[in-house]
Amino acid sequence: MALKALIFDVDGTLANTERDGHLLAFNLAFKELNLDWHWNNELYHKLLDIAGGKLRIKHYIKNYHSDFECDNIDIFAKNTHALKTKIYVDLVGAGKIPLRTGVARLLDEARAAGLRLAIATTTTEANVTALIANTLGRDALDWFEVIGAGDCVAKLKPAGDIYTYVLQKMQLNSSECLAFEDSNNGIKSATEAGIKCVISVNEYTNSHNFDGAIVVLNNLGEPNQPFTLIAGADCQPNYVNVDYLKRLYAKYC
């Protein structure tokens, strides 16, 4: 088998979208709906264990506002989440969320090397489109053969459904791919689908369990900004490029 495709998570991996994007959008939506709810960063750190904005809202109501009354909690969560998504897309459209270190470079290099690209994320597809279009240009959406996002599968991460969906669409074996993730939910999902992970941590996930990852890094690095190897295989160069990935793949996949 050979390395044929790179599959990227979005939130926390392609970009640090949570604090200045999703969290801000949730709170602006609550305010617009005249709800006296405010998620601070400490609470959001906990709520992020629940993948998926709609489920996160329902989890919050059940655990923090059990007295909250509405006709139908599913419809309420869906409508609130739709408003949050609109706000988030506007935030991303205003250029508020940059790509993480090394991401744009690696995507360019991977394409030049003929590696196939895809996305496997819990977030809503509109969020993915906005992020890619506003950081890499709308044409960059075509770089990804499959954008597996949000509700296109029955079970969200940590279930493996979204990665399995992407593999099926690409007609690839899990052993022909590497996944790029940032969280425990993410590595569980990729691992359930049989895909080995390259992890880049962030403020919300740096204490997560990444057992089974090939490497855990602080970010993907740049030639003049080497990554910090937190755990896993020591390999050169000390920034993630295609040669680095092919060496990791040859040794550990």
Does 116 interact with ligand XBP (rule: CB under 6 A)?
Answer: no
Single out the residue of 161, 245, 157, 241 nearest to residue 197, CA to CA. 245
Rounded to the nearest whole angstrom, what is the least distance from the CB of residue 153 to ligand XBP in the complex? 11
How far apart CA 141 and CA 153 sit, in angstroms, is 20
Contact code string over 74-93 relative to ligand XBP, x by CB under 6 A: -----------x--------
* Residue 52 partner contact from ligand XBP, Mg ion, none using kind-dependent CB cut-offs of 5 to 8 Å: ligand XBP
Q: How far apart are the first and last CA of the chain?
A: 9
Give residues 146-185 in contact with Mg ion (rule: CB under 5 A): 182-183
Tokens of 40: 């601070």
Pick the binder of ligand XBP from 10, 110, 118, 147 (CB under 6 A).
10
DSSP string of 91-143?
HHHTT--PBPTTHHHHHHHHHHTT-EEEEEESS-HHHHHHHHHHHH-GGGGGG
Task: State which of positions 180-209 bind ligand XBP (CB under 6 A).
Answer: 183, 186
In sign, the C-alpha dihedral spanning 238, 243, 247, 253 is positive
**The residue to which tokens 């044929």 are assigned:** 4
Name the residue nearer to ligand XBP (CB basis): 85 or 241: 85
Residue number with CB closer to ligand XBP (116 or 157) = 157
Using CB under 5 A as the binding rule, whether residue 11 contacts Mg ion is answered as yes
> Is 161 a binder of ligand XBP (CB under 6 A)?
no
In the bound state with ligand XBP, the residue whose beta carbon lies nearer, of 7 and 214, is 7
The per-residue DSSP string of 58-84 comes to HHHHHHH-TT---S-HHHHHHHHHHHH
Segment near ligand XBP (CB under 6 A), from 11-19, 27-35, 93-101, 224-232?
A: 11-19
Provide the binding-site residues for ligand XBP, judged by CB under 6 A: 9-12, 18, 22, 51-53, 85, 121-124, 127, 150, 157, 183, 186
